[in-house]
Amino acid sequence: MGSLSFVVPFAELEVGQHLYWQLGNLRIHGQVFMTSWIVIGALLTLVVVGTKKMERDPRGVQNLLEFLWDYIRDLARTQIGEKVYRDWMPFIGTLFLFIFVSNWGGALVPWKLIHLPSGELGAPTADINTTVALALLVSLSYFYAGLSNKGLRYFEYYVHPTPIMLPFKIVEDFTKPLSLSFRLFGNILADELVVAVLVFLVPLVLPVPVMFLGLFTSAIQALIFATLAAYYIGEAVEEHH
Amino acid sequence: MSSLFLLGASEGGLFDFDATLPLMAVQVVILTFILNALFFKPVGKVVEERESFITTSRAEAKQKLAEAESLESDLREQLKQARQSAQKVIFEAEQDSDKLYREALALATAEANASREEARREIDSQREIAFNQLKLDAEKLGDLIVERLLDVK
């Protein structure tokens, strides 16, 4: 197996091992889907509980949901602009919530207590497949946003303000999903690895501040991903004069 | 084998791309639609309804405040006018009473003068009569004295 593993009484560190599921002739990473379903389930539970009985004077979970809604609206509005932010708010919000809950779930839930035949449970965003999937969705979204808002005039963006920009803008279309996916993947995986290595080396006290740092990084990464996605969409729908 | 773990080997590795990628994308797209229906739309509706409620209440309150202010200024104006008319009435009444006093005084003075004049005229006429009478009597007496003196002689 192409893997790196240490076996000690307290912690086990595995990198690059996956629990494979076979779907027809497709292979998927089972552990990623299992945690992503837990994340999605948690999100849906929160949303369903919070919107069950909504009132004009918010109470309980409705407050939290309204805070999230407001936060996402501000994010989408400042990046995308007043005109079309409503169309993209659900997408930006879903990205933010999914990544945020994935990251925090990966950092807070002691997944290692559940033993899998191969690989281990962790944040779905620590798998390159997930982050590339999200980043490609962002790419498709900003192309779709640009083309549906401005038609073929969208491509004016590539020669704006001068045609010299054309190669750079084309390269950008590749670097955007690349940087988005690798930033998220790298940060979350690195966080999990640092915590795991520290737990492996010094299983007392020392990993705790790093865990808090990990929570901070996780939240920041979710915010960065959502903000950049919104910024790219906003850039695509922006009118040049 | 262990050197392959970073390079997306056929089995395992950090960069092991497979059907997880498209399926995860589909899953996130479906999640977007579900969250849109369950979260973004209903919460947005509630928040925007509240925002419009607050906006209309504020507008109503402003309108009411403006109404109250205009009513207040109306009442102030009315009060001012009432004060002015009251002062006018007082002034007029003072002038009236002054006039009446003067008229009454003038009338009384005139009456007094007239009755004094009449009294004097009466005194004058009576004095004249008395004088004439006295003159007559004196002449008679004179005549009588003259007669007597003449008789004696």
Residue A3 lies in a domain: no
Q: Whole-prediction pTM value?
A: 0.76
Residue A43 lies in a domain: yes
**Which residues constitute the domain of residue B86?**
20-152
Residue A40 lies in a domain: yes
Q: Do A28 and B20 touch (CB under 8 A)?
A: yes
Residue B94 lies in a domain: yes
ipTM for this prediction = 0.88
Two tokens, residue B97: 């009473």
Q: Do A26 and B14 touch (CB under 8 A)?
A: no
Of A18, A133, A136, the CB nearest to B12: A18
Q: Do B11 and A1 touch (CB under 8 A)?
A: yes
Instruction: Give the pLDDT confidence of B88-111 residue by residue, as tens digits.
Output: 999 999 999 999 999 999 999 999
Of A1, A32, A134, the CB nearest to B12: A1
**Which residues constitute the domain of residue A93?**
31-237
Residue A58 lies in a domain: yes
A13 vs A166, more confident: A166
What is the percentage of chain B residues whose pLDDT exceeds 70?
A: 92
Residue A7 lies in a domain: no
Residue A224 lies in a domain: yes
Two tokens, residue A98: 């999914």
Number of domains observed in the structure of chain A: 1
Instruction: Name the region of B151 (left: φ>0; alpha: ψ -120 to 50; beta: rest).
Output: alpha
For A190, nearest residue in chain B (alpha carbons): B14
Instruction: Give the pLDDT confidence of A134-146 residue by residue, as tens digits.
Output: 999 999 999 999 9
The dihedral formed by the CA atoms of A213, A218, A222 and A224, expressed in degrees to the nearest 10: 40
Residue B14 lies in a domain: no
Please calculate the CA angle A131-A135-A137 and round it to the nearest 5 degrees: 120
- List, in order, residues 6 or more apart from A59 with CB less than 8 Å away: none
Residue B15 lies in a domain: no
Number of domains observed in the structure of chain B: 1
Residues 49-68 of A with CB under 8 A from B: 50-51, 54-56, 58, 62, 65-66
Decide if B23 touches A, using CB distance below 8 A: yes
What residues pair up with A15 in beta bridges, in sequence order? A4
Decide if A3 touches B, using CB distance below 8 A: yes
